[in-house]
Structure 1
């Protein structure tokens, strides 16, 4: 008698359904992970730092807000291209949209009035200086330099 290879899906079922093998596939997990920008978070004695990889986004496309203790970084970009022939007839029209929203819970000791942000070479850097006072209950926009 030959050894038969038994296949289990990720939930441990012996007979996986047709869809479970596709819905649990790493491809779908990678798509979800790739929709958010890669992020580095650091802490020093005086501040916290957040770096986000945002290639293709201009600083005008990015919005940074704080409400209570939530820092929200969002961006939306749209690109349209059109190719015409010598008679001005459209030969090809393409568009591309990109967007993301990323939220971070920030500690109460962050000085929300002194947060700064800059963007260079596709990397958005946000610096959150520390303070002793608690966060105020208001929404504040942070301008990218």
Structure 2
């Protein structure tokens, strides 16, 4: 049986970039795929549910703790540097750091007399 459970995600804007945190209990970095295509960030996972391989006599009344499959997509802001996104995974939390393109600073243009 394949189940779908979407992990909760927070996206925070900071001065120099964005931080995405996704809770993924029971998964590790090898279970998750992260990629960017056409300025859309994709996060997905397909993990075999342990009980499918188990030939034991377990009978659950409620079973909510396993992810087996999910997909999430987020359109990135125009100022996101997609080539510099970094990812880390610790204690069931996926963290993506998405830097911003530096804003052009206004500069004064000198006018010369002819």
Pair 35,132 (structure 1): closer, same or farther in 2 beyond 3 Å: same
Deviations 1:28-61, CA, capped at 9 Å, x for gaps: xxxxxx8210111101000101100101112111
Q: Which of 45, 57, 68 does residue 75 from structure 1 map onto?
A: 45
Q: Secondary structure at the match of 1:82?
A: coil
Q: Which runs of 4 or more aligned residues in structure 1 lie more than 3 Å from their structure 2 counterparts after TM superposition? A: none
The size of the alignment, in residue pairs, is: 91
**Higher helix proportion (structure 1 or 2):** 1
Matches of 2:67 and 2:100 in 1, distance apart?
A: 36
Find the structure with the greater CA-based Rg.
1
Pair 97,116 (structure 1): closer, same or farther in 2 beyond 3 Å: closer
RCO greater where, 1 or 2, for CA within 8 Å and sep 6 or more? 2
Is 1:62 equivalent to 2:35 in the alignment? no
TM-score, structure 1 as length reference:
0.56
Q: Which residue of 2 aligns with 1:116?
A: 86
* Unaligned stretches of 5+ residues in structure 1: 1-33, 84-91, 134-145
Matches within 5 A, 1:20-35: 35=5
Is 1:106 equivalent to 2:79 in the alignment? no
TM-score, structure 2 as length reference:
0.71
Task: Give the superposition deviation at 1:131.
Answer: 0.8
* Unaligned stretches of 5+ residues in structure 2: 60-65, 104-114
Q: CA RMSD in A?
A: 2.4
